[in-house]
């Protein structure tokens, strides 16, 4: 059986504040970029070099709201998700454009809390995860009342093959 994997894990600094938008159905979606850098020593000149790569991040629903609430330009953040490339035709030129994005499933803030942001927000509230549940919400909650209402995620733009239509928002785990 052939297997495939589409998983991205990044640690980087936000290049801009998250931009919140809403779908026609009222679902929040946030976009932002993060920068990752690598350094090395040039073997020919023995000079230290650095290269920065920018990544476009998209988060949906509760994760989007958490990103909007807590992240700011310069924040150090861990993002876990999957790559998705969407395409569209430019209206003026007719040229086909492509954009590859990381669809975030998990976010963890790695900065210490900035001064002046004291409050009762726990680390659990400041860390949001979207995970594929192993069972229905009621069975994961042991059948107890009060199981969390979990909204479905859907990919940004383009057609979906339906493989991720059963993704749910959750706050169960942190990546570290």
Q: Model-level pTM?
A: 0.63
* Weakest mean pLDDT among 22-26, 84-88, 122-126, 163-167: 163-167
Share of the chain above pLDDT 70, in %: 63
Report the pLDDT averaged over residues 159-164: 38
Report the pLDDT averaged over residues 10-28: 95
pLDDT in tens, 132-159: 333 333 333 333 333 333 333 333 333 3
> What is the pLDDT at residue 112?
76
Q: Where are the beta strands (DSSP E) in the chain?
A: 8-14, 19-22, 28-41, 48-60, 76-89, 96-109, 128-131, 168-170
> What is the pLDDT at residue 114?
54
> Cβ(56)–Cβ(18) under 8 Å?
no
Q: Which of 90, 63, 96 is nearest to 77 (CA)?
A: 63
| Domains and their CATH numbers in the chain | 8-38+50-170 (2.40.50.140)
Q: Chain-wide mean pLDDT for the chain? A: 74
pLDDT in tens, 69-98: 999 999 999 999 999 999 999 999 999 999
Residues 6+ apart with CB under 8 A from 133: 140, 150, 166, 168, 170
> What is the pLDDT at residue 2?
79
> What is the pLDDT at residue 159?
37
- At 106, the pLDDT band (50, 70, 90 cuts) reads very high
Between 129 and 125, name the one with better pLDDT: 129
Dihedral angle sign, alpha carbons of residues 19, 23, 24, 25: negative
Report the pLDDT averaged over residues 46-74: 95
């Amino acid at each position: 059986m052939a297997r495939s994997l589409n998983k991205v894990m990044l640690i980087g600094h936000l290049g801009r504040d998250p931009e919140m938008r809403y779908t026609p159905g009222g679902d929040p979606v946030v976009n932002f970029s993060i920068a990752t850098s690598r350094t090395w020593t040039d073997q020919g000149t023995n000079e230290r070099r650095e290269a920065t790569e920018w990544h476009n991040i998209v988060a949906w629903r509760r994760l989007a709201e958490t990103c909007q609430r807590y992240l700011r330009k310069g924040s150090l953040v861990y993002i876990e998700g999957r790559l998705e490339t969407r395409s569209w035709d430019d209206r003026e030129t007719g040229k086909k454009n492509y954009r590859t994005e990381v669809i975030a499933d998990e976010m963890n803030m790695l900065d210490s809390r900035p001064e002046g942001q004291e409050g009762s927000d726990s680390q659990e509230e400041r860390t949001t995860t979207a995970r594929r549940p192993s069972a229905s919400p009621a069975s994961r909650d042991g059948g107890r009342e009060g199981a969390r209402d979990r909204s479905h995620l859907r990919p940004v733009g383009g057609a979906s093959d339906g493989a991720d239509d059963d993704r749910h928002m959750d706050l169960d785990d942190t990546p570290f």
